[in-house]
Structure 1
Amino acid sequence: MNDRFYIIDDDKGIRRVLKNIIKQYDLGTVIGESDNGKDAIKDIKVLNPPIVLVDLLLPGVDGIGIVSEIKKMNIDTNFIMISQVTSKEIVSKAYTMGVEFFIHKPINVVEVISIINKVKEKLTMHEVINSFEQAFHSMSMLRDYKSNMKTQTVSERDRIKKVLSQLGILGEAGSNDLVEMILLIWEEDDTEKQRLLHQKLSELYKMLNKRYEDDHDASSNVGAIEQRIRRAINKALANIANMGIEDYGNEMFIRYSNTLFDFKEVRKQMDFARGKSNYGGKISVKKFIEGIIVELKSE
């Protein structure tokens, strides 16, 4: 996907750094830039960029003001805010107004790439959902489709993918296995859900493999399924730990560090990432799956 970016920052050097990162790592195309909010709002109305990187502190209209104005115009733009500000009130206000993520100054290349890729994952997921909806509309089947169980399955599938996207593992091979395993459990009634959650993991892996055979006429090695799932969850643990290191008040860190993982293990992973320990945290596949099911029930 060749995404289009618009950059707003009154520091020419920052704009140049961001443009270079986007170009060097083939993240997309910068279609415009501005050093002030007034001109930026005019440009965004015309250019309609999918992703806007906007500085919080700007002369005239600040970053939050820009986001507010664009949202009022119902322009479908995803905002990434750039800031040195650490005030929780200001950060909370930015999220409320529609900011997707924060990039902290001074600019860190790894953080910029990571945040942009997360927003791109979200855009990709929305495109997939929209394409499904358009297909169902064109066949005059959307209303009937929503009335049966398949609609619920598609809906739950998207909600599971949203969580995995927030954890930064939607692109991992094991993410597909996780989605299918969670759906395998979720589709059952409450009594059967509890029974499956108390099954040995080896049995759940076998059931998932049989699901692949029955639904897709495809089989996978049970051991390979287990390894893919464990690698994906380990990646999620590392990502959550990094969120906590960058911002202990991060909404995703607070939400998932204790529901999908044992918080003590998250702390160990944080110490490992900081170089304070030779060992990272450990995962529990069962706790991770149970945590996402709890998330599905709570929404």
Structure 2
Amino acid sequence: MRYFIVDDDMASRRMLERVITEGGLGMVIGEAESGVKALTTVLSLQPDMVLIDLLMPELDGIETMEQLKSRGYQGQFIMISQVVNKEMVGEAYEKGVEFFIHKPINRVEVQSILQKTTENFRLQASLMAIRESLAHIGPVVQAPKQRSVKEIVLTILNDMGIIGEVGSDDIVMMIEILMSQKGRGAQLPPLKELYEAVAHKIGNVDITKESKAIEQRIRRTILMAVNNLASLGAVDYTTAEFEYYAPRYFDFQEIRSRMKQIEEDHQEPIKVKINSKKFIQVLYLEVEDKLMRL
């Protein structure tokens, strides 16, 4: 992985660079002390990942990110911030931030987050390589029976133990909608648009109200998947479903926290952070991959 660091604090830049290089997570190909100074260099170098401070003079992290994307930068962003403002964090996620690194910088947290983003990056690169290789292959004789998108999604949801949950139908429809948008690539549109698209597909409903209901149903379903996988892991972390789905679809630290609680037999479940965007994106990529292999 090739990283670029944008932060007005030199100590933070040095710390991040050491964590990346000493941890074997990749290489830092450049840095800048402000968003303004970062624009030209990032667009020229096209790093895989930009680690960018939220609060900076002239251009803040979100504004810098918007300008880079509007000028053609195709990589990903991780936001660095000591601000715990829900509105700003929410805006950053909506603009395309994958993860947050909190200040003061913690080596373990940085390593954990960068390992997750590296895994996602490699998954997308692998799927891109598959697409490119298939583009050079002639017409393929189709098997007598192709599995549908719905069948593949339900198989995956069944593995996580959530096929009967209230949001499972919403998830199926969402993936069907994404699969119908050819040429869209691996990046998801904003989740709000997807919720509205599913609401339209349901039909004869108040789109705004139904979109919010869909969001809550999907979040509850994903939370149930966390609980199911954590329960599997607490009993036997070598279980195939746990080993495959827990690190790919979820923040593994959240799974581990829930496992610990189960192991200690707490009655009241802790709050678990749900990353619906990551869950849907990984599910979409996996379904696309399985369809390519048919």
TM-score, L = length of structure 1: 0.55
Alpha-carbon distance, 1:242 to partner = 6.5
CA deviations 1:230-265 (Å, max 9, x no partner) are 56678769622568xxxxxxxxxxxxxxxxxxxxxx
Partner of 1:56: 54
Alpha-carbon distance, 1:51 to partner = 0.5
TM-score, L = length of structure 2: 0.56
**CA–CA distance in structure 1, aligned partners of residues 94 and 144 of structure 2:** 33
Matches within 5 A, 1:81-100: 81-100=79-98
Matches within 5 A, 1:5-154: 5-141=3-139, 149=146, 152=149
- 2:291 is aligned with 1:269: no
Alpha-carbon distance, 1:29 to partner = 0.5
**CA–CA distance in structure 1, aligned partners of residues 76 and 41 of structure 2:** 15
Return closer, same or farther for 1:98/1:296 CA change in 2, 3 Å cut-off. Answer: closer
Partner of 2:264: 279
**CA–CA distance in structure 2, aligned partners of residues 24 and 141 of structure 1:** 47
* Partner SS state of residue 149, structure 1: coil
Return closer, same or farther for 1:128/1:153 CA change in 2, 3 Å cut-off. Answer: farther
Alpha-carbon distance, 1:35 to partner = 0.3
- 2:237 is aligned with 1:239: no
**CA–CA distance in structure 1, aligned partners of residues 61 and 119 of structure 2:** 23
Over the aligned positions, Cα root-mean-square deviation in angstroms equals: 4.3
Partner of 1:4: 2
* Partner SS state of residue 80, structure 2: strand
Return closer, same or farther for 1:124/1:280 CA change in 2, 3 Å cut-off. Answer: farther
Amino acid at match of 2:132: Q
Return closer, same or farther for 1:230/1:28 CA change in 2, 3 Å cut-off. Answer: closer
Matches within 5 A, 1:282-297: none
Alpha-carbon distance, 1:90 to partner = 0.2
- 2:232 is aligned with 1:227: no
Residues 237 and 269 of structure 1 are in contact (CA less than 8 Å); yes or no, is this contact kept in structure 2? no
Alpha-carbon distance, 1:136 to partner = 1.6
Return closer, same or farther for 1:35/1:238 CA change in 2, 3 Å cut-off. Answer: closer
**CA–CA distance in structure 1, aligned partners of residues 151 and 109 of structure 2:** 32
* Partner SS state of residue 29, structure 2: strand
**CA–CA distance in structure 2, aligned partners of residues 81 and 35 of structure 1:** 15
**CA–CA distance in structure 1, aligned partners of residues 240 and 162 of structure 2:** 15
**CA–CA distance in structure 1, aligned partners of residues 124 and 26 of structure 2:** 18
Alpha-carbon distance, 1:75 to partner = 1.5
Amino acid at match of 1:63: G
Alpha-carbon distance, 1:58 to partner = 0.8
CA deviations 1:173-203 (Å, max 9, x no partner) are xxxxx69x999xx9xxxxxxxxxxxxxxxxx
Residues 3 and 28 of structure 2 are in contact (CA less than 8 Å); yes or no, is this contact kept in structure 1? yes
Unaligned runs of 5+ in 1: 164-177, 187-223, 244-265, 273-277, 283-291
Unaligned runs of 5+ in 2: 169-235, 268-278, 288-294
Equivalenced residue count is 199
Larger Rg: 1
Return closer, same or farther for 1:230/1:42 CA change in 2, 3 Å cut-off. Answer: closer
Amino acid at match of 1:94: A
Partner of 1:287: none
Residues 33 and 40 of structure 1 are in contact (CA less than 8 Å); yes or no, is this contact kept in structure 2? yes
**CA–CA distance in structure 2, aligned partners of residues 88 and 46 of structure 1:** 33
**CA–CA distance in structure 1, aligned partners of residues 87 and 129 of structure 2:** 37
Return closer, same or farther for 1:123/1:182 CA change in 2, 3 Å cut-off. Answer: farther
Identity over the aligned pairs, expressed in percent? 32
Alpha-carbon distance, 1:140 to partner = 3.6
**CA–CA distance in structure 1, aligned partners of residues 252 and 38 of structure 2:** 36
* Partner SS state of residue 33, structure 1: strand
Residues 4 and 49 of structure 2 are in contact (CA less than 8 Å); yes or no, is this contact kept in structure 1? yes
